[in-house]
Structure 1
Amino acid sequence: MPAAAGRPVARAAVPADAEGIIALRSELILPEPLDAEWAALCSARLARRLAPGGDARAYVAEVPDGSLVSCALGLIHPLFPAPAYPEGLAARVHAVATRPEFRRRGLAREVLSALLDRLQADGATLFELHASEEATPLYRELGFAADPALMRMTRLGGPGRRIEEPTGRVQFPQDSYASSVPKSTGSAFVLFTDEYNRPVQLRATYSQVHPWQLPGGTMDHGERPWQTAQRECREETGLRVQGPPRLLASVFGLPGAAWPFSTTGCVFDGGRLTDEQIRSIVLDPDEHDAVRVLPLEEWKPLMPPQDFARLDAVMTARRTGTAAYFDSWGWGDS
């Protein structure tokens, strides 16, 4: 990389630069400088990692006497491949430092840009770093973006070791974070009653555990709950539910043996049906084989306790005008 006259020269680092890189990191980045023993240990290890076949890459800027005044150090590590990083290699920018008297000359940008180009050439397709507030504008200009949903945590092993509180955030692969959060399926249902306020339910052909159910089902990709309720109701009964939507209850269930994900559901008010509308219901025989209209209490012996409790909560919401929150539904037999 050619440099202007009198300007520090930037170049790829070699193992002999390890001591200078560690010195810059110790003096300018760490909250407390390394003592001589730790500096020597880190320098020896970094020298091995900068050697051919190692996992470290670095660029440095030096003055004529050979002293390093700026550096950018990255470490490559493997991870599971994904569409966004098919090679399965990530690179962490471990240190970017410039001595104060040489700042504002573009050195940090030069060595960091060269480092990122080298890491990409070596197959890294995911880049991570822990940025200070002062350096954030430079990293943003070079394509980095913060993710406020992720936090940096540190665990130090061994007795008597003090764990420092994290001072900032670190970026992680988006799919890694996504795989760590709970999974949930969405569903939506419609409560119909007859003109005497008696619940209308359908008997399922596919579940002996939950035999009587409200029209509804699982959300499709790209659907909103109200759209799901309308679609499922039309498919299962032939009835078209008119808006605007009126939410009666939010229902939550934890994962169970019958289903590995939690469930989050909305129950909407479908209004009161006339006898003629009830007789016009057309069932999908693959899902339901009967329609029944009963007073609320007469449903109790026909349903598992949790199913009846949910129906009771929904009916109470209809009567009082206050939406119910029901989080004790589950996939068990009770």
Structure 2
Amino acid sequence: MIVRPATVDDIPELTRLRELLFKPLIDSDVPARTWEWQSAFERDMKERLGGDELGVFVIDGRDGDLAACGIGVVQYRLPTPYQANALAGYILGMVTDPAYRTLGYGRSIMNELLSWFQEKEVSRVELHATPEAAHLYRSMGFREHQISLTWHAP
């Protein structure tokens, strides 16, 4: 298995994997808005892929598809007593196609993302995990830090 940076040629597959990521949320208490998010996602990927603030890593599947991907962003935050450089990372798109799960792809991609964040001098990385994936992130040193709350505009 080889983890590699995503390219613009991967954008259709990144979109497919992103759809898989959000599929379980269909029954959530905040219904998805009906709009062409895929077009906006693909446009943003084309504009930002390869930039300093977006890291996207993938593992190729067997038939020209992507088996897994991970997306991380570097964010500016204000300095704190615990973090002088004011840079934080956020993982916003770890997903493995069901046909490739339990093969270690998520761990490999997360290791690549954490290395990428370290190269960017990011010392704190946050994520939201599904109950099924939380054990993976805990085994890699992530821990519960604070209660996470989300507000959605009406």
| TM-score bracket for the superposition, by shorter chain length | 0.7 to 0.9
Deviations 1:157-177 (A, max 9, x none): xxxx4xxxxxxxxxxxxxxxx
SS in 2 for 1:29: helix
Quote the Cα distance in structure 2 between the aligned partners of 1:34 and 1:129. Answer: 23
Runs of at least 5 residues in structure 1 that lack an aligned partner in the other structure: 4-8, 162-334
Quote the Cα distance in structure 1 between the aligned partners of 2:98 and 2:36. Answer: 25
SS in 2 for 1:73: strand
Correspondence for 2:9 among 16, 19, 36: 16
Runs of at least 5 residues in structure 2 that lack an aligned partner in the other structure: 27-31
Quote the Cα distance in structure 2 between the aligned partners of 1:151 and 1:10. Answer: 30
2:104 aligned residue: 106
1:153 aligned residue: 150
The 1:15/1:124 distance shift into structure 2, 3 A limit, reads farther
Given that 2:69 and 2:95 are in contact with CA atoms closer than 8 Å, whether structure 1 keeps it comes out as yes
Cα drift, residue 37 of structure 1: 2.6
Quote the Cα distance in structure 2 between the aligned partners of 1:128 and 1:58. Answer: 16
Quote the Cα distance in structure 2 between the aligned partners of 1:64 and 1:150. Answer: 40
TM-score by length of 2: 0.84
Higher helix proportion: 2
SS in 2 for 1:120: helix
Quote the Cα distance in structure 1 between the aligned partners of 2:121 and 2:48. Answer: 17
Quote the Cα distance in structure 1 between the aligned partners of 2:10 and 2:34. Answer: 18
Correspondence for 1:116 among 109, 114, 117: 114
Counterpart code for 1:13: A
Bigger radius of gyration among the two: 1
The count of corresponding residues between Structure 1 and Structure 2 is: 148
1:133 aligned residue: 131
Cα drift, residue 100 of structure 1: 1.0
Higher strand proportion: 1
> Relative contact order, CA 8 A, sep 6+: which one is greater?
2
2:29 aligned residue: none
Given that 2:20 and 2:95 are in contact with CA atoms closer than 8 Å, whether structure 1 keeps it comes out as no
CA RMSD of aligned residues (A): 2.2
Cα drift, residue 16 of structure 1: 3.2
Cα drift, residue 23 of structure 1: 1.7
Q: Which moved more, 1:75-84 or 1:33-42?
A: 33-42
Cα drift, residue 64 of structure 1: 4.4
Given that 1:16 and 1:47 are in contact with CA atoms closer than 8 Å, whether structure 2 keeps it comes out as no
- Shift >6 Å, 4+ stretches: 33-36
2:20 aligned residue: 27
Cα drift, residue 35 of structure 1: 7.1
Cα drift, residue 22 of structure 1: 2.5
Counterpart code for 1:86: A
TM-score by length of 1: 0.41
Quote the Cα distance in structure 2 between the aligned partners of 1:35 and 1:50. Answer: 25
Counterpart code for 2:55: R
Quote the Cα distance in structure 1 between the aligned partners of 2:114 and 2:149. Answer: 22
Given that 1:76 and 1:90 are in contact with CA atoms closer than 8 Å, whether structure 2 keeps it comes out as yes
Given that 1:19 and 1:40 are in contact with CA atoms closer than 8 Å, whether structure 2 keeps it comes out as no
Counterpart code for 1:133: P
Quote the Cα distance in structure 1 between the aligned partners of 2:14 and 2:98. Answer: 15
Within-5 A mapping of 1:241-280: none
Quote the Cα distance in structure 2 between the aligned partners of 1:71 and 1:27. Answer: 11
Identity of aligned residues (%): 26
2:36 aligned residue: 37
Quote the Cα distance in structure 1 between the aligned partners of 2:15 and 2:34. Answer: 11
